[in-house]
Amino acid sequence: MTTSGIDRVNGHPDIRPELPPRTMELLRERNDDLRDRAVANAEAVRRQRSLGKRTARERLDLLLDPGSFTEIDLYRRHQAHGLKVSEHRPHTDGVVAGSGTIDGRRVFVYAQDFTIFGGSLGQAHAAKIHKVMDMAIDTGSPIIALNDSGGARIQEGVMALDGYGGIFRRQVEASGVIPQIAVVLGPSAGGAAYSPALADFTFMVRGTAQMYLTGPDVVQAVSGEKVTHDELGGATVHGELSGVASFVHDDEESCLEDVRYLVSMLPSNNLEPPPAYVPVGAVDDVRPGFASIVPVEPNKPYDMRVLIEELVDDGEFLEVHAGWARNVVVAFGRIDGAVVGMVGNQPMVFAGVLDIEASQKAARFVRFCDAFGIPLVSLVDVPGFLPGTAQEHAGVIRHGAKLLYAYCEATVPRIQVIVRKAYGGAYIVMDSRSIGTDLSLAWPTNEIAVMGAEGAVNVIFRKELAAAADPDALRAELLAEYSEQLVHPYYAAERGLVDDVIDPSHTRSAVARGLAMLRDKRRPTPARKHGNVPL
């Protein structure tokens, strides 16, 4: 013990134990040591890379603008006890959370760190995610989740499940308010799979990403079916069969690059307009190439994506769900600098018919665009809904009604372009004038009818054809008559169901002018809690 001074109040010696010197330099060293231990575990990092995966921080470096990341809760540690969990309490608790920028625009992010507890979610881990999600909602900024987790942390029991519940509740609160993007870069098992499912867009990487509610071992125990992780819930499965994945990539670099590209198309929240570029003169653009893309013959296929490429600025667009429900194309692009969402029937697949999955895919896209103020352009070339007992028994009526509901509910500017044919109920569902499109344009080649001419003649004149001496000659005559009277664009235009019949080469300029005309559209919705979507 040493005397270190006199107590100025009582006059007694101030006797205190000698303490190590507390200099700012020493405090900085201790802080840096803590930070280094929080972000580096060489052996775990080696294992992560041996799986073909980057670390959480390396992924954030790829995603965000250089030097823009601000981390929160770096020193957070779990407070659990028992079952060996208290023996290991690393900082960050297996998730890196904070905020950064993409092309200078604010986003909030969290990246699960598989090198710590396998990225499993416990109470402290969840609390960090809750905090960053609350910040995103409060500031009106997109939230991006980089998922790489074994699921709930078993040692923390119900508290881990409660943590997931808090994430899901916030995702629903944020739905339609801020864009939510999930990037699956490793396992996302059990309850963890619901978070990407609730996001607006989900990215997956082939070979490393998997999502499923019950793993291969449980599947085999219950059903006897042997299946690999990738066969059960890999990126290809969710990109082509289930429709859970919006985008599928071969590597993390291209995946995160496309996340940045997607963010460049989206507003930060539902109160801001989508980011716009300087107009490029599309209102006066003439594109003769349109006419050569679409065959005049109604049954001859072509690629709707080529038409979209001709329609958008610089031929650039971002297709969503490219591998799933390929008979309809949904994509973001820009027309005269303004972001638009495009929905187009794809004649290359099932002749472009609508079916259950195409209806679901298009409906979800339409609802997202409407929630975030993105105008819709519908490119119509549809022969109808896919017939058959399989579709009817699986509920094509109910699922088709989802797309009908989505369009009817949408209050953003809506433009319909009837490229070639539009038959039956599918014509109505593809944003027709009758369900509220603002502007309907048609090419001279278009056919709007209850059904194709041949089918209609066979129904209307069944008895006459059966009694005719030369049924083929009579059928040809009736087909010509039916087409001349009903199946041409001017029939609909004369009745106000088509606003203009345009030269195909003027499609880009007509759409650009229509978007400019509708830019300030405002349509209040009825006072109600919410509608009842036919889920």
Q: Classify the C-alpha dihedral 84-85-89-95 as positive or negative.
A: positive
pLDDT for 82: 61
Angle at 468 between CA 463 and CA 469, to 5 degrees: 160
Asked if residue 270 belongs to a domain, the reply is no
DSSP reduced 3-state for 399: helix
What gap in Å lies between CA 203 and CA 196, rounded to an integer?
9
101/33 same-domain check: no
CATH code where residue 86 lies: 3.90.226.10
**Is 276 a domain residue?**
no
- Name the 3-class secondary structure at 535: coil
In 3D space, the residue among 194, 184, 188, 167 whose CA is nearest the CA of residue 118 turns out to be: 188
Q: How far from chain centre, in Å, is Cα 130? A: 22
Q: Which of 219, 236, 265 marks a domain boundary? A: 265
Does residue 349 share a domain with residue 254? no
Active site includes 191?
yes
Q: What are the counts of helices (DSSP H) followed by strands (DSSP E) for the chain?
A: 21, 18
Distance of alpha carbon 406 from alpha carbon 452, whole angstroms: 26
User: Cβ(126)–Cβ(160) under 8 Å?
Assistant: yes
pTM, entire model = 0.90
Count of beta carbons in the 10 Å neighbourhood of residue 244: 22
Helix H segments across 41-110? Answer: 42-50, 56-63
Parent domain of 353 = 282-450+488-518
63-79 per-position pLDDT tens digit: 999 999 999 988 887 66
Q: Are residues 56 and 162 in the same domain?
A: yes
Query: Is 273 contained in some domain?
Result: no
Identify whether 274 is part of a domain: no
Is residue 420 domain-shared with residue 481, that is, in the same domain?
A: no
Q: Of the candidates 514, 501, 105, which has an alpha carbon nearest to the alpha carbon of residue 336? A: 514
Judge contact between 192 and 121, C-beta under 8 A. Answer: yes
| Residue 148 domain-assigned (yes or no) | yes
With respect to residue 271, please indicate whether it lies within any of the assigned structural domains: no
Q: 78, 67, 116: which is closest to 96 by C-alpha?
A: 116
53, 208 contact by CB (below 8 A): yes
- Closest by CA to 366, choosing from 343, 389, 390, is 343
Q: Of 97, 193, 426, 442, which is the active-site residue? A: 426
Q: Which of 98, 100, 186, 190 is catalytic?
A: 190
Do 303 and 223 lie in one domain? The reply is no
Burial of 327 (0-12, 13-18, 19+ CB in 10 A): buried
Cα 174 off chain centre by: 14
- Quick one: 35 and 74 in the same domain? no
Interval 5-24: pLDDT, tens: 555 445 555 555 665 666 77
Q: Note whether residue 45 is domain-resident.
A: no
Q: Are 299 and 439 within one domain?
A: yes
Instruction: Give the pLDDT score at 3.
Output: 47
Residue with tokens 């990407």: 196
Q: Is residue 333 part of a domain?
A: yes
Domains identified in the chain, total number? 4
Please tell me the predicted confidence (pLDDT) of residue 5. Answer: 52
H-helix or E-strand spanning residue 477: helix 471-485
Q: With contact defined as beta carbons under 8 Å apart, do 180 and 173 qualify?
A: no
Within this chain, do residues 154 and 10 fall inside the same structural domain, yes or no? no
190 belongs to the catalytic site: yes
Say yes or no: 222 and 346 in one domain: no
**Which residue is catalytic, options 157, 243, 323, 425?**
425
> Which positions of the chain have pLDDT values less than 70?
1-22, 27, 29-40, 78-89
Residue 253 confidence (pLDDT): 97
Residues 339 and 394 in one domain: yes
pLDDT value at residue 484: 74
SS3 52: coil
Do 202 and 306 fall within a single domain? Answer: no
Whether residues 197 and 217 fall in one domain: yes
The residue from 191, 239, 384, 514 that is catalytic is 191
Question: How far is the C-alpha of 407 from the C-alpha of 438, rounded, in Å?
Answer: 11
Catalytic-residue membership of 426: yes
User: One-letter amino acid identity for 261?
Assistant: Y
Tokens of 378: 């519908």
